[in-house]
């Protein structure tokens, strides 16, 4: 959606869909001082593009996703989601933007222990107010599309493998039809083969759902399926 335009700059990213970060700096309190977690980071990801951010532990990868997810406000710089400047929005508008445009898969699985796989998606529906039968059909279809067969859709998280739980997380992130998909270390709890399958799945959903996808990882073996790899070191990003 072209919601913001900058007439002085015809190539402005503000007019584009997907995700853009411009000159983002983020620091955390650190005793008397501040620790710089992101240092002048810029990034653009177009719809249908799958970008990996690789870097060692502590390099700022999760901080980058938190800022892109509009969960943390940067000290400086801009975060644009489908051309909308997140920093210029009210808290309420930013929450709506997050809900309507962002899909987030966090490092730690945050599935609810008491709910079945299909219910993990339907519980989101309370917020979004679609028709129950329609919502259930869509949830089942999405779960099937990420490789979770009907019988497993009725299982609770502890009855699923780590890889299956990650598939539920991905389906849940896609349920709101996001334009930007943010994924933090999706394979950290999986063996290599299952990790590779999850990355393959992310490549596939990026294509079919046309999401601007950013996956952060410290596992370089998994980067064969992505369109681009950016390197993060000490809060700085390199192409």
* Minimal distance, residue 62 CB to Mg ion, in Å: 3
Structural element, H or E, at residue 202: helix 192-209
Structural element, H or E, at residue 36: strand 33-45
Please state, as a whole number, how many other Cβ atoms lie within 10 Å of the Cβ of residue 74.
Answer: 24
Order of strands, sheet of 33-45, starting from the edge strand that comes earlier in the sequence: 33-45, 19-30, 76-81, 84-85
Going by the DSSP 8-state scheme, the letter that residue 90 receives in this structure is -
Residue 188 contacts Mg ion per CB under 5 A: no
Residue 103 contacts ligand ADP per CB under 6 A: no
3-state secondary structure 136-156: HHHHHHHHHHCCCCHHHHCCC
* Minimal distance, residue 108 CB to ligand ADP, in Å: 12
Taking the least distance from each CB to Mg ion, the nearer of 62 and 78 is 62
Taking the least distance from each CB to ligand ADP, the nearer of 75 and 100 is 75
- Nearest residue to Mg ion, scored by beta-carbon proximity: 62
By the 10 Å C-beta count (0-12 exposed, 13-18 middle, 19+ buried), 156 is classed as middle
3-state secondary structure 58-88: CCCHHHHHHHHCCCCCCCEEEEEECCEEHHH
Torsion of CA 206, 209, 213, 218, to 10 degrees: -50
Taking the least distance from each CB to Mg ion, the nearer of 61 and 152 is 61
Binding residue (CB under 5 A) for Mg ion from 15, 25, 27, 62: 62
90 contact, one of Mg ion, ligand ADP, none, CB 5-8 Å limit per kind: none
103 contact, one of ligand ADP, Mg ion, none, CB 5-8 Å limit per kind: none
Using DSSP bridges, classify how beta strands 212-217 and 50-54 pair: parallel, antiparallel or unpaired: parallel
Residues 19-58 that bind ligand ADP (CB under 6 A): 28, 35, 37, 55, 57-58
* Minimal distance, residue 62 CB to ligand ADP, in Å: 3
* Minimal distance, residue 38 CB to ligand ADP, in Å: 8
* Minimal distance, residue 96 CB to ligand ADP, in Å: 25
Residues 53-72 that bind ligand ADP (CB under 6 A): 55, 57-63
Can you give the binding site for Mg ion, defined by CB under 5 A? 61-62
Can you give the binding site for ligand ADP, defined by CB under 6 A? 28, 35, 37, 55, 57-63
């Amino acid at each position: 959606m072209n919601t913001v335009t900058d007439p002085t700059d015809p190539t402005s990213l503000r007019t584009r869909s997907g995700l853009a970060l411009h000159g983002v700096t983020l620091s955390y309190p650190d005793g008397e001082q501040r620790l710089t977690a992101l240092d002048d980071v810029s990034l653009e990801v177009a719809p249908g593009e799958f970008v990996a951010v690789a870097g060692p532990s502590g390099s700022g990868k999760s901080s980058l996703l938190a800022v892109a997810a509009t969960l943390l406000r940067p000290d400086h710089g801009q975060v644009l989601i489908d051309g909308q400047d997140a920093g210029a929005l009210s808290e309420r508008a930013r929450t709506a933007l997050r809900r309507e445009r962002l899909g987030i898969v966090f490092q730690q699985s945050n599935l609810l222990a008491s709910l079945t796989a299909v219910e993990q998606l339907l519980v989101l529906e309370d917020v979004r107010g679609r028709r129950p039968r329609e919502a259930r059909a869509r949830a089942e279809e999405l779960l099937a599309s990420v490789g979770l067969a009907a019988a497993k859709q009725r299982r609770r998280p502890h009855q699923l493998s780590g890889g299956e739980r990650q598939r539920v997380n991905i389906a849940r992130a896609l349920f709101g039809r996001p334009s930007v998909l943010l994924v933090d270390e999706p394979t950290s709890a999986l063996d290599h083969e299952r990790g590779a399958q999850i990355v393959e799945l992310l490549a596939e959903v990026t294509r079919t759902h046309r999401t601007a996808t950013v996956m952060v990882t410290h596992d370089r073996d998994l980067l064969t399926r992505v369109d681009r790899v950016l390197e993060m070191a000490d809060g700085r990003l390199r192409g």
